[in-house]
Amino acid sequence: MESVDSRDEEAPLVADSLQVLTPKNYTRDVHILSCAFLLIFLAYGAAQNLETTVNTEGNLGTISLGILYTSFTCFSLVASLVVRVLGSKNALILGTTGYWLFVAANLFPSWYTMVPASLYLGFAASIIWVGEGTYLTAAALSHASNHKLHEGTVIGSFNGEFWGMFASHQFVGNLITLAVLKDDKGGSTSGTTLLFIVFLGVITLGTILMCFLRKEEDKGEKETADASVNFYSYLVSLSKSITTLLADVRMLLIIPLFAYSGLQQAFVWAEFTKEIVTPALGVSGVGGAMAVYGAFDAICSLAAGRLTTGLPSITFIVSGGAIAQVVVFLWILINYSVTSGVLGTLYPLIMAALLGIGDGVLNTQLSALLGILFKHDTVTANPTLIRQIFVW
């Protein structure tokens, strides 16, 4: 009887030890992060697409976006410090507030609402994107280590899922825009007001979802939040990190790709919607064209992420995406003009699809490339930080 009792007493201990040895699965956190970004950016992305066509008085929309991205650039210099102090999860949650305030400001668009909201969103965007890159890369590396998987494959898969979900925000958000403004060719105040109220609710859901992320305890992401962290030492450390990166020939070769990525996105968000889509399809057509852009962006992000195995695959995939966008730019420069009829409707949609293919490829592959080449410095070698410091 003693031996039976002894085995019964030891059984829970064996079960407990097995439970402890079970490696953490970080795919849950990638699902949550991806869905939260989808909700937040389907609202913000659609609002941004309409900014230059709705807030036209005094070029308020265009200037607001200019202020936003100038602020984004400036705050990106200190964003990694904020992420180190807060932790990436808290930085992600705080970052969502900027998008909420920016959309809310569009309910009462004026210089007194849009300018402060744009300034704050620049700060919020800098920390949410540095936090995202840090969190996602740390999760991928931890998942690969825990499950004995190839790091490059996991980084590519995680980035593919995230950027695929993120890219679909253009599709979903602009379908909502199309549905709300379908009978509003001129972009009336009542139609856009209802649209922005819906977007505020969606961003709120995204913020709540972000709270369910598991707090990352990885040493590469969480350094310390005590009083020893100060601004001067951070600037010295950042300067050294940037100098080290600039001395690395791999980074020098990557910077032009980030420059192109940022420029093509700026073209799509501002000039393409204003100069190509609106004259052909009207304000309500912006939602439809950008929905096509988002759909192809999402599909190519997911596909590119699945196909990523290392540097050779990244080179091949990026080349294909760049060629798709070159076709559009040559088309616009050489032979495009606004026409009526079916072709007049079809041309902007074809352009949007090709531009979406290129953007989906670039987002996924450049993030994966940095994660593979600079995996030991996930905060400084962050896609957003690199783009803002070296491109702007």
Task: Flag whether 236 is in a domain.
Answer: no
Residue 112 tokens read as: 């007194």
Task: Flag whether 36 is in a domain.
Answer: yes
Q: Within this chain, do residues 185 and 253 fall inside the same structural domain, yes or no?
A: no
The answer to whether residues 12 and 198 touch, using CB atoms and an 8 Å cutoff, is no
pLDDT digits (tens, 9 = 90+) for 183-193: 665 555 677 88
Q: Within this chain, do residues 208 and 345 fall inside the same structural domain, yes or no?
A: no
For residues 311, 150, 126, 233, the Cα torsion angle rounded to the nearest 10 degrees is -100
Residue 181 exposure: Cα atoms within 13 Å on the Cβ side: 30
**Distance in angstroms (rounded) separating the CA atoms of residues 309 and 58:** 49
**Distance in angstroms (rounded) separating the CA atoms of residues 364 and 320:** 13
Q: Is 259 helix (H, G, I), strand (E, B) or coil?
A: helix
Task: Flag whether 5 is in a domain.
Answer: no
**Could you tell me which of 261, 287, 346 has the C-alpha nearest to residue 53?**
287
Q: What is the DSSP string of 190-244?
A: HHHHHHHHHHHHHHHHHHHHHTTSPPP--TTT----STT--HHHHHHHHHHHHHH
The number of domains in the chain is 2
Q: Within this chain, do residues 178 and 291 fall inside the same structural domain, yes or no?
A: no
CATH of the domain at 42: 1.20.1250.20
Q: Within this chain, do residues 161 and 290 fall inside the same structural domain, yes or no?
A: no
The answer to whether residues 317 and 160 touch, using CB atoms and an 8 Å cutoff, is no
Q: Find the domain containing 364 and state its range.
A: 246-391
Q: Is 34 helix (H, G, I), strand (E, B) or coil?
A: helix
Residue 130 has pLDDT above 70, yes or no: yes
pLDDT band at 15 (very low <50, low <70, confident <90, very high): very low
- Percentage of the chain exceeding pLDDT 90: 20
Q: What is the DSSP string of 63-117?
A: HHHHHHHHHHHHHHHHHHHHHHHH-HHHHHHHHHHHHHHHHHHTTS-SHHHHHHH
**Distance in angstroms (rounded) separating the CA atoms of residues 64 and 103:** 12
Amino acid at 15: A
Task: Flag whether 356 is in a domain.
Answer: yes
Q: Within this chain, do residues 180 and 79 fall inside the same structural domain, yes or no?
A: yes
The answer to whether residues 294 and 356 touch, using CB atoms and an 8 Å cutoff, is yes
Q: What is the DSSP letter of 24?
A: P
The answer to whether residues 47 and 106 touch, using CB atoms and an 8 Å cutoff, is yes
Q: Within this chain, do residues 210 and 315 fall inside the same structural domain, yes or no?
A: no
Query: What does the pLDDT read at residue 226?
Result: 47
Q: Within this chain, do residues 170 and 260 fall inside the same structural domain, yes or no?
A: no
The answer to whether residues 242 and 382 touch, using CB atoms and an 8 Å cutoff, is no
Domain final residue pick, 195, 215, 235: 215
Residue 67 has pLDDT above 70, yes or no: yes
- Residue 327's Cα: distance from chain center in Å? 25
**Distance in angstroms (rounded) separating the CA atoms of residues 366 and 384:** 11
Query: What does the pLDDT read at residue 353?
Result: 93
pLDDT digits (tens, 9 = 90+) for 132-154: 888 888 888 888 888 777 777 78
pLDDT band at 219 (very low <50, low <70, confident <90, very high): very low
Return contacts of 335-340, CB within 8 angstroms, 24+ apart: 336/276, 338/279, 338/280, 339/280
Q: Within this chain, do residues 148 and 270 fall inside the same structural domain, yes or no?
A: no
pLDDT digits (tens, 9 = 90+) for 360-389: 888 888 877 877 777 665 555 555 555 555
Domain final residue pick, 166, 199, 215: 215
Residue 277 has pLDDT above 80, yes or no: yes
Task: Flag whether 8 is in a domain.
Answer: no
**Distance in angstroms (rounded) separating the CA atoms of residues 163 and 218:** 22
pLDDT band at 232 (very low <50, low <70, confident <90, very high): low
